[in-house]
Amino acid sequence: MTFEDRILRLKEEIETAKAKSQHDAEEFRIKYLGSKGLFKELFNDFKRVSSEEKRQFGKVINEVKQTAERKVEEWKASLSSESNTSSELDLTRPGMAQAPGAQHPITIIKDEVIEIFRAIGFSVAEGPEIEDDWHNFSALNFPPEHPARDMQDTFFVENPDGGEPHVLRTHTSSVQVRVMENEKPPIRIIAPGRVFRNEDISARSHCIFHQIEGLYIDEGVTFADMKQTLEYFAKEFFGKSKIRLRPSYFPFTEPSAEMDVYWGLETELDYRITKGTGWLEVMGCGMVDPAVLKSSGIDPDKYSGFAFGMGLERSAMQRFHIPDIRMMFENDIRFLQQFRSAL
Ligand code: PHE
């Protein structure tokens, strides 16, 4: 048989071949395409034919081979559904391992605070991390010479429009202003977010940290409403029912206060985290200064309200006994895996 005859015969065999089962398909594959199959043989002999014949038959052989491969693929796909009965599924095989992620301690605390305030009608608001001077300072009643605007505290960034420099927001209070500018009372929002201060990094403080801001504006909102709301929060978040409000100062609230919760002084740990006082400093708060309402477009004769802002890192450190704030930003997987799974 000439080389040409062999090819033509192979071609015909392959084109007319049929398979009724997976088994037939596999037999066909082994016979023609297997490592000792007819194509292998043909290619071996092909090496020895004249270059004239090589030119003549090379293309045909490849085409026939491709036809054979296509047929096998088609058979395997179409015949598989018929023969794929449940007896072929090994139900005793172990399942695929799931590798659930864990939630970051800050996320856990943040979500918990949001949930506590959501239950009493607060919704979540957000604002940009790069702020203009107006939303971070001026609208909040910071006079131009206020020390908080100093280079020491604030990261300035270039203003792409060439005006006065922008800032990385130093607190989430900037979101208060944005919400008041855009919404009409009643306003009840909670604003979680990252804030930035140009401070030395140590075990207790970082230049990047997180706050949650709260704002409640409506007709006739009083200091008593604020105290009641913060008491509710202390009960839900710490499981403690005694709070106190110490006079304090913020440019944007009047009067201003620091809210402490009575933690207790039973264990050595209580001593440590309350610095021996039994009281835990929780947040800054106060009645929104009428000048702030006014500069944000809200009529201070008609509306009043309160605001508060708390840091999240300290609560996370207390809750999870994290000794160093930097651990929360190093992304060491061994640290991160210890917290509640996200599933
Ligand atoms: N923005 C203040 C801070 O950074 C906290 C605060 C918020 C105080 C709202 C009063 C009212 O510390």
Query: In whole angstroms, what is the distance from residue 302 CA to residue 219 CA?
Result: 6
* Average pLDDT across the chain, whole number: 91
Is residue 284 lining ligand 1, measured as CB closer than 6 Å? Answer: yes
Query: In whole angstroms, what is the distance from residue 287 CA to residue 307 CA?
Result: 6
Write the residue with the smallest CA distance to atom 10 of ligand 1. Answer: 285
Ligand 1 centroid to residue 173 C-alpha, Å: 6
Segment 143-163 shows an average pLDDT of: 83
Ligand 1 centroid to residue 160 C-alpha, Å: 28
One-letter amino acid of 265: L
| Closest ligand 1 atom to Cα of 172 | 1
* Number of C-beta neighbours around residue 142 at 10 A: 19
Per-residue pLDDT at 115 exceeds 60:
yes
Domains of the chain: 3-87 (no CATH), 105-342 (3.30.930.10)
Write the residue with the smallest CA distance to atom 4 of ligand 1. Answer: 171
What pLDDT is stored for residue 56 in this prediction? 84
What pLDDT is stored for residue 54 in this prediction? 84
**What element of type H or E holds 29?**
none
What pLDDT is stored for residue 184 in this prediction? 94
Q: How far is CA 101 from CA 245, 312, 333, 341, in A?
A: 39, 21, 10, 6
Is residue 311 lining ligand 1, measured as CB closer than 6 Å? Answer: no
**What single DSSP character describes residue 165?**
P
**What single DSSP character describes residue 277?**
S
One-letter amino acid of 184: K
Cis amide bond preceding 255, omega within 30: yes
One-letter amino acid of 102: A
Is residue 140 lining ligand 1, measured as CB closer than 6 Å? Answer: no
Q: What is the Cα Rg of the chain in Å? A: 36
Ligand 1 centroid to residue 192 C-alpha, Å: 12
CA angle, corner 72, sides to 70 and 77, nearest 5?
Answer: 95
Of 1-10, 80-89, 174-183, 279-288, least confident by mean pLDDT is: 80-89
Structure tokens at 297: 């477009």
Q: How far is CA 315 from CA 113, 228, 229, in A?
A: 11, 21, 19
CA 57 to chain centre: 60
Per residue in 13-30, pLDDT tens? 999 999 888 888 989 999
Angle at which helices 51-83 and 38-46 pack, to 10 degrees?
A: 170
At 87, the pLDDT band (50, 70, 90 cuts) reads low
**What single DSSP character describes residue 99?**
-
Query: In whole angstroms, what is the distance from residue 341 CA to residue 336 CA?
Result: 10
Per residue in 70-82, pLDDT tens? 999 998 888 865 5
Please, are residues 326 and 207 in contact by the beta-carbon 8 Å criterion? no
- Give the SS3 label for residue 81: helix
| Closest ligand 1 atom to Cα of 215 | 9
Per residue in 128-151, pLDDT tens? 999 999 999 999 999 888 877 776
What pLDDT is stored for residue 90 in this prediction? 81
Ligand 1 centroid to residue 253 C-alpha, Å: 9
Ligand 1 centroid to residue 307 C-alpha, Å: 8
What pLDDT is stored for residue 6 in this prediction? 87
